[in-house]
Amino acid sequence: MTQSISLDFEVLSGLYTGLRGKAPVGDSLIGSGLDADMIFVEQGLAPHHLRIIPQRDSIEVEALAAGISVDGHESITSGERVSVPLPAIVHVGAMSIRWSTQDFPQAGPSNRSRGSIVALSLLLLSSVAIGTVSTIFAPTDSAVALSTDSLPVAEVAAKPAINHYEASGADGIAELLRHEIERRGLLDIKVGSGPGVVTAEGTVTPNLVAKWQEIQQWFDHQTNGTPTLVNAVAVKEEKAPSSIAVQAVWRGSEPYLLIGGQKYFVGALLSNGWTVDRIEDGRVLLSRNGRFAALPY
């Protein structure tokens, strides 16, 4: 019976607040390990923390580690299994997850605030090659998560058998996404691919958030959800560039800067990612992503 039941879930607290979708059909192993069915990192979860077993109008929560509780019940000890009616809210680590089926009403949307984090909303199946994207998970003090309110609902399907066609298709879609990102001027987003997934990591400034969301909508329209886009792009304020060690300045008909023995003309890209916009008396005007900064020399 449980093999044909798929639960709806919504994350109410933690880094993944607002993430919602359908869990894989049947039992779901939840944890931080790469072989879990539903993977949540940086949330205080053990590699295998709990298992959710769907029933017709309830779920069984099997605790595989400590620190699990359900609204209206005592804490569940490791090794214990309890049955709770749907809808149910399970608390584990730093997360609270609401479980339900379409037959049960949903509560109103959560208004809890989001922390200062890199966007880590990754939900993958254990059959997906995580190694291609696992390096993108790193917290930072100056980044905040992109809001999921205007983005498509996450959909987690049953574990498919990945084949070479899917991997090849992901590579092609990744290349299309890379060209679209470059065309729209989002210079700090890197695109990768793996079997069944396309990954995007990096940062955008607040004024480019709308562009990035439009690109995600374009991606969904082009792919119809296959392959999955793993979004690890964070919003980050652009810092002013540090001072540059200018050795000499030529302000003739074709002005340039001499830095480290190399000439940089107007329009040249510096190693810090900023572009030489103008060379003026006593200062250099640099530009990046629509922002300008004046540095003295």
Strand order in the sheet with 95-100: 20-22, 8-13, 95-100, 88-92, 68-70
Cis peptide before 47 (omega within 30 of 0): no
Q: Give the residue with greater pLDDT, 25 vs 98.
A: 98
Q: Give the residue with greater pLDDT, 113 vs 93.
A: 93
Quick one: pLDDT at residue 62? 94
Taking residues 269-283, report their average pLDDT. 83
Quick one: pLDDT at residue 86? 92
| Rounded CA separation 20/112 (Å) | 15
Bridge partners, 282 (sequence order): none
Residue 258's pLDDT band (boundaries 50, 70, 90)?
A: confident
Q: What is the pLDDT of residues 99-158, one digit of tens each?
A: 998 644 444 433 333 322 223 334 333 333 333 333 233 333 333 334 334 333 443 333
CATH 3.30.70.1770: which residues of the chain? Answer: 166-235
Quick one: pLDDT at residue 274? 82
Residue 242's pLDDT band (boundaries 50, 70, 90)?
A: low
* Tally of CB atoms within 10 A around 175: 13
Structural tokens at position 5: 């039941």
Asked if 56 contacts 5 with a C-beta cutoff of 8 angstroms, the reply is: yes
Burial class of 74 by CB neighbour count within 10 A (0 to 12, 13 to 18, 19+): exposed
Residues 6+ apart with CB under 8 A from 240: 293
| Rounded CA separation 297/294 (Å) | 10
Residue 63's pLDDT band (boundaries 50, 70, 90)?
A: very high
101, amino acid identity: T
Residues 6+ apart with CB under 8 A from 143: 116, 117, 118, 119, 203, 234, 235, 236
Taking residues 167-193, report their average pLDDT. 83
* Tally of CB atoms within 10 A around 262: 11
Taking residues 66-70, report their average pLDDT. 91
Write down the pTM of the prediction.
Answer: 0.40
Is it the case that residue 189 has pLDDT exceeding 50? yes
CATH says 166-235 is which class? alpha beta
CATH 2.60.200.20: which residues of the chain? Answer: 7-100
Q: What is the pLDDT of residues 194-232, one digit of tens each?
A: 878 888 888 887 888 889 989 988 998 888 878 888 888
Quick one: pLDDT at residue 286? 85
Q: What is the pLDDT of residues 10-19, one digit of tens each?
A: 889 887 788 8
Is it the case that residue 85 has pLDDT exceeding 80? yes
Q: What would you measure as the largest C-alpha separation in the chain, in angstroms?
A: 81
Bridge partners, 257 (sequence order): 249, 264
Would you mind telling me the total number of residues written for the chain in this entry? 297
- Using alpha carbons, list the distances in angstroms from residue 141 to 121, 178, 236, 237: 17, 27, 10, 11
Q: Which numeric CATH code is attached to 7-100?
A: 2.60.200.20
Sequence-ordered strand ranges (E) for 34-154: 38-39, 50-54, 58-63, 68-70, 81-85, 88-92, 95-100, 143-145
Q: What is the pLDDT of residues 155-173, one digit of tens each?
A: 333 333 333 334 457 888 8
